[in-house]
Amino acid sequence: MTERIDGHTILIGLMAYPIRHSMSPTMHNNAFAKLGLNYAYLAFDVTAEKLPAAIDALRTLEMRGTNISMPNKQRVIPLLDKLDPAAEMVGAVNTIVNDDGVLTGYTTDGIGFMKALDDEEIDIRGHKMTLAGAGGAGTAIAVQAALDGVSEISIFNLHDAEWDNAVRNVKLINDRTNCHATLHELENRNDFKAEIQDSFIYTDSTGVGMKPLEGQTLIDDPSWLRKDLVVFDTVYAPRTTKLMTVAQAAGVEHVFNGLGMMLEQGAAAFKLWTGKEMPVDYIHQILF
């Protein structure tokens, strides 16, 4: 570390609260070291109240950028100069790039999802996806998949606090992309089963399967899942969720957790700041 940090070191932040548990500093600092890049990545406790001052500091200190997480992903938008089209559609930002004082907001979760599939040589463009969940992750996934050329997305959500967001997502995708999106009630099990059976990929972005819902799944009947369906769970702790176990019992060949998505969303931010490819396999070994 002392060999790397000097008077020219470029600072990148992570502004959120709480945030000290994050793996991102380990991810990015190891990637900088591996590539010999003179950058440092630090986590800062930034509450909603401190956010405007923190964004000012980004400009004042000429930081290259920052990651943004809860509770700041949406409220940071009015503080920025520009928004990437995907971030504008998603209505949230997880990465800021500072180009000589001009701050642009990006969202990389959806990019991470698509790239994780590309890494496995699975191309969902031109195909249909059934997606459970329309929260932060589900919105980013739906928007990026639609922008990248997925032909149809059937979005399922409970009638909970996220329902209105799901309505918004479907309208936005249909208005602004060539993808045809539809909204369905997760409570309608026959509809859910039929849409999955008609899809190329089923993605669960609800977090059912991780604490406090570890061991639970929205699909417990293996007969719902064709062997050639792709099954993607955004959860990465535990590494194998109940949904993945059910898919494996059904003989599904392509079953993924959210690890690849997590690594690739970080790699996409890394590329935006440095212009370089993150050594993803190396970082995978270090983190897991």
| Residue positions annotated with a catalytic role | 73
The one among 45, 81, 120, 160 contacting ligand NAD by CB under 6 A: 160
Nearer to ligand NAD, 35 or 183 (CB): 183
Residues in the chain: 288
The one among 135, 222, 238, 279 contacting ligand NAD by CB under 6 A: 135
Token representation of residue 242: 């109940």
The one among 130, 177, 199, 205 contacting ligand NAD by CB under 6 A: 205
Answer yes or no whether residue 149 interacts with ligand NAD by CB under 6 A.
no
State in angstroms the smallest separation of the CB of 234 from ligand NAD. 4
CB-CB contact of 264 with 278 (8 Å): no
Nearer to ligand NAD, 43 or 262 (CB): 262
Strand order of the β-sheet with 65-68 is: 39-45, 10-16, 65-68, 95-99, 102-106, 82-83
Answer yes or no whether residue 91 interacts with ligand NAD by CB under 6 A.
no
Q: Estimate to the nearest angstrom the gap between the alpha carbon of 180 and the chain centroid.
A: 21
Nearer to ligand NAD, 109 or 152 (CB): 109
Answer yes or no whether residue 71 interacts with ligand NAD by CB under 6 A.
no
Planar angle of CA 160, 183, 206, nearest 5 degrees = 50
The one among 186, 231, 252, 272 contacting ligand NAD by CB under 6 A: 186
Answer yes or no whether residue 158 interacts with ligand NAD by CB under 6 A.
yes
> CB atoms < 10 A from the CB of 122, how many?
16
Answer yes or no whether residue 110 interacts with ligand NAD by CB under 6 A.
no
Stretch that binds ligand NAD, among 15-23, 28-36, 238-246, 256-264 (CB under 6 A): 256-264
State in angstroms the smallest separation of the CB of 166 from ligand NAD. 7
Answer yes or no whether residue 112 interacts with ligand NAD by CB under 6 A.
yes
Nearer to ligand NAD, 13 or 112 (CB): 112
- Cα torsion 134, 138, 141, 142 to 10°: value is -10
Nearer to ligand NAD, 71 or 149 (CB): 71
By the criterion CB under 6 A, which residues form the site for ligand NAD? 109, 112, 133-138, 157-158, 160, 162, 186, 205-208, 210, 213, 234-236, 258, 261-262, 265
